[in-house]
């Protein structure tokens, strides 16, 4: 691919703390993965030991030719008990930012990527009115310690994800076949699991409000208010930093008769949140596939369509469509904070990257301010409920030795980035 991207374009790859670091034992996920009857395929354990190997991983990213790294800071490490901030943890992230600087890599830092401290869940989690203030207090601590080294901060990853989760659960309850990456067999054991979780969190099973769960409308407001409060608090301590959040967006298409469903879906997944994000400095956009609507709602993936390991359609062209509709609704810079594919056939990842970047390039050529593309993921890692079985990485990891092995797609993507920096 010989396209010229703008100077200073951010060529990145992403990870999230809980998925790569290992031993995140103050987080809610740690508890959920390790209790009796857990619905997780396996626990995250030492993950890919990125907490220890971050420097090597950032060096590798830079050697491949990339110039940006999106990673998350783990709230449960920084504030393992409410109001008690851990200096060792914050200094660890200071070292990660130092390593970025040393290798000329621009950091994009996420302050919340799905996992939360256990104490937050005990205190009402993501349905509690108190959560925005608690989140903002944590953000202020991090940014007053590290903000000078952070150019872009993303408060909350996929703030709208609960809408998709709710849809999947409704689909499952209606007996329809589910096309997304949730382990349906495990979900069937949910009731028992929630009983156990209730005991572990010391709250009633109905009061467990982790981030990756269906939300009430009030709960959705809690999340977006947490973003707005955090943004204001961050700007007070670090007026220079660019603040945004990220959202998970599907390319939304329709066949004849499905137009209204498509329009409603766009509103539900995206447009309704614009009041909360219109004062952000940038928009973090994440896309993995498309949804096609017909007269009766979302259509199942066509039987002849290529599917990813997650069960949804392989559709790299979705990214361009999402950038276009986001740009139309929001007048601000866009960073693609995640885009990628879960596959064991790395040739398909190479093709995915090429096709996705053709779309990004077309958007830029039409004047849309896309500042960067961040591939998910830098490393094969812990795919939440589905454990280590799903492989999104540019770099393979042998977990028995924690050896890193860049795939062909890593060299391919790196070579595009390098040719654009010459």
Hey, which residues are catalytic here? 158
Structure tokens at 153: 């901060």
Q: Give residue number: closest CB to ligand BGC.
A: 16
Q: Is 343 among the residues that bind ligand BGC (CB under 6 A)?
A: no
Q: Counting Cβ atoms within 10 Å, is residue 269 exposed (0-12), middle (13-18) or buried (19+)?
A: buried
Q: Is 374 among the residues that bind ligand BGC (CB under 6 A)?
A: no
Q: Is 376 among the residues that bind ligand BGC (CB under 6 A)?
A: yes
- Dihedral, CA atoms, 287, 290, 295, 297, nearest 10 degrees? -60
Q: Name the one residue in this structure whose structure tokens are 């973090």.
A: 284
Residue nearer to ligand BGC on the CB measure, 224 or 392? 392
Q: Is 57 among the residues that bind ligand BGC (CB under 6 A)?
A: no
Would you say 372 and 11 are in contact if contact means Cβ atoms under 8 Å apart?
Answer: yes
State the nearest-atom distance from the C-beta of 407 to ligand BGC, in Å. 17
Write out the DSSP string of 335-353: EEEEE----S-HHHHHHHH
Residues 6+ apart with CB under 8 A from 219: 126, 127, 162, 209
Residues in the chain: 422
Residue nearer to ligand BGC on the CB measure, 110 or 118? 110
Q: Of all helices (H) and strands (E), which one includes residue 248?
A: strand 246-248
State the nearest-atom distance from the C-beta of 186 to ligand BGC, in Å. 16
Residue nearer to ligand BGC on the CB measure, 343 or 420? 343
Q: Give the span between the Cα atoms of 346 and 28, in whole angstroms.
A: 33
Q: How many residues bind ligand BGC (CB under 6 A)?
A: 10
Q: Give the span between the Cα atoms of 60 and 103, in whole angstroms.
A: 10
Residue nearer to ligand BGC on the CB measure, 233 or 341? 341
Q: Of all helices (H) and strands (E), which one includes residue 282?
A: none
Residue nearer to ligand BGC on the CB measure, 127 or 383? 383
Q: Is 312 among the residues that bind ligand BGC (CB under 6 A)?
A: no
Q: Which of residues 377-396 bind ligand BGC (CB under 6 A)?
A: 383, 392
Q: Is 16 among the residues that bind ligand BGC (CB under 6 A)?
A: yes
Residue nearer to ligand BGC on the CB measure, 134 or 375? 375
Q: Is 74 among the residues that bind ligand BGC (CB under 6 A)?
A: no
Radius of gyration of the chain (CA): 20
Q: Is 79 among the residues that bind ligand BGC (CB under 6 A)?
A: no
| Nearest C-alpha neighbor of 194 from the set 204, 186, 185, 184 | 204
| Nearest C-alpha neighbor of 78 from the set 13, 143, 2 | 143
Figure out which of the listed residues 229, 338, 346, 380 binds ligand BGC, where binding follows CB under 6 A. Answer: 338
Q: Is 248 among the residues that bind ligand BGC (CB under 6 A)?
A: yes
Q: Give the span between the Cα atoms of 384 and 158, in whole angstroms.
A: 14
Q: Is 229 among the residues that bind ligand BGC (CB under 6 A)?
A: no
Q: Is 157 among the residues that bind ligand BGC (CB under 6 A)?
A: yes
Q: Is 313 among the residues that bind ligand BGC (CB under 6 A)?
A: no
State the nearest-atom distance from the C-beta of 206 to ligand BGC, in Å. 26
State the nearest-atom distance from the C-beta of 16 to ligand BGC, in Å. 5
Is the Cα dihedral 253, 247, 229, 217 positive or negative? positive
Q: Is 315 among the residues that bind ligand BGC (CB under 6 A)?
A: no
Would you say 63 and 415 are in contact if contact means Cβ atoms under 8 Å apart?
Answer: no
Structure tokens at 90: 């914050």
State the nearest-atom distance from the C-beta of 383 to ligand BGC, in Å. 5
Q: Is 251 among the residues that bind ligand BGC (CB under 6 A)?
A: no
Residue nearer to ligand BGC on the CB measure, 118 or 248? 248
State the nearest-atom distance from the C-beta of 342 to ligand BGC, in Å. 7
Kindly list the residues in this chain that would bind ligand BGC in the complex (CB under 6 A).
16, 19, 157-158, 181, 248, 338, 376, 383, 392
């Amino acid at each position: 691919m010989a396209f010229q991207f703008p100077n200073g374009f951010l060529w990145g790859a992403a990870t999230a703390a809980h998925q790569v670091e290992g031993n995140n034992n103050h987080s809610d996920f740690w508890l959920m993965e390790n209790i009796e009857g857990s619905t997780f395929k396996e626990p995250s354990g030492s993950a890919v030991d990125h907490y220890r190997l971050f420097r090597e991983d950032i060096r590798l990213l830079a050697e491949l030719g990339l110039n940006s790294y999106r990673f998350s800071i783990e709230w449960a490490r920084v504030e393992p008990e409410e109001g008690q901030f851990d200096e060792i943890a914050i200094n660890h992230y200071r070292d990660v930012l130092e390593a970025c600087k040393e290798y000329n890599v621009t950091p994009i830092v996420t302050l919340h990527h799905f996992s939360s401290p256990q104490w937050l869940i005990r205190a009402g989690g993501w349905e509690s009115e108190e959560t925005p203030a608690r989140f903002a207090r944590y953000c202020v601590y991090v940014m007053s310690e590290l903000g000078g080294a952070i150019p872009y901060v993303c408060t909350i990853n996929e703030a709208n994800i609960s809408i998709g989760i709710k849809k999947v659960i409704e689909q499952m309850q209606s007996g329809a076949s589910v096309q997304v990456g949730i382990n349906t067999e495990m979900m069937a054991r949910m009731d028992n699991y929630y009983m156990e979780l209730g005991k572990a969190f010391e709250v009633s099973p109905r009061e467990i409000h982790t981030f990756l769960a269906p939300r009430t409308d009030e709960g959705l407001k809690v999340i977006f208010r947490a973003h707005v409060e955090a943004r204001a608090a961050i700007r007070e301590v670090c007026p220079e930093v660019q603040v945004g959040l990220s959202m998970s967006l599907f390319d939304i298409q329709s066949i004849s008769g499905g137009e209204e469903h498509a329009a409603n879906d766009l509103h539900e997944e995206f447009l309704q949140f614009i009041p909360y994000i219109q004062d952000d400095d940038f928009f973090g956009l994440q896309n993995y596939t498309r949804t096609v609507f017909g007269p009766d709602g979302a259509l199942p993936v066509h039987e002849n369509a290529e599917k990813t390991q997650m069960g949804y359609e392989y559709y790299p062209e979705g990214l361009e469509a999402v950038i276009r509709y986001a740009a139309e609704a929001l007048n601000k810079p866009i960073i693609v904070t995640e885009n990628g594919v879960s596959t064991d056939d790395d040739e398909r990842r190479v093709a995915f990257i090429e096709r996705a970047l053709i779309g990004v390039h077309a958007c830029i050529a039409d004047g849309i301010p896309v500042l960067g593309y961040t591939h998910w993921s830098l490393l094969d890692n812990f795919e939440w409920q589905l454990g280590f079985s799903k492989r999104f990485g540019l770099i393979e990891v042998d977990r028995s030795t924690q050896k890193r092995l860049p795939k062909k797609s890593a060299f391919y993507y790196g070579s595009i980035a390098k040719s654009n920096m010459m």
